[in-house]
């Protein structure tokens, strides 16, 4: 049940890299990367993509972790969170079934 931040921190530590190095690759301040790892800030999509290529892990895996974090975050303390997720799932299925071209 890892958040994206946990995953990134693990990857960075496995590779024994300081924040500085990875942050430089992402072209952001190391303070920001620290916050991202601890879940105090949300990275951008581009940053997630860059991280996947940097650590050579599947882009989709990181994107799923990132998106699901965002969804959870959006639902915060809503009591109907689960129901909303289920309805959203139906809607997404419906849309993907009915979408033309786009």
Partner DNA sequence: CTATTTTTGACAAATTATGTCAAAATATTA
Partner DNA sequence: TAATATTTTGACATAATTTGTCAAAAATAG
- Judged by the rule CB under 8 A, the positions of this chain that interact with a second copy are 1, 60, 63-65, 67-72, 74-75, 77-96, 102
C-alpha 69 chain-centroid distance: 6
One DSSP character per residue, 46-60 reads HHHHHHHHHHT--HH
Nearer to DNA, 3 or 30 (CB): 30
Size of the site for DNA (CB under 7 A): 19
Residues 17-46 that bind DNA (CB under 7 A): 18-20, 27-32, 34-35, 37-38, 40-44
Count H helices and E strands in the chain, helices first.
6, 0
Structure tokens at 93: 């299925």
Q: Name the binder of 60 from a second copy, DNA, none, CB < 5-8 A by kind.
A: a second copy
């Amino acid at each position: 049940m890892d958040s994206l931040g946990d995953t990134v921190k693990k990857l960075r530590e496995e590779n024994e890299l300081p924040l500085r190095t990875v942050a430089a690759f992402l072209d952001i301040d190391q303070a920001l990367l620290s916050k991202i790892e601890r879940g105090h800030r949300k990275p951008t999509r581009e940053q997630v993509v860059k991280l996947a290529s940097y650590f050579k892990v599947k882009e989709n895996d990181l994107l799923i972790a990132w998106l699901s974090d965002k969804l959870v975050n959006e639902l915060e303390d809503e009591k109907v969170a689960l129901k909303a997720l289920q309805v959203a799932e139906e809607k997404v299925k419906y849309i993907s079934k009915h979408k033309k071209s786009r």
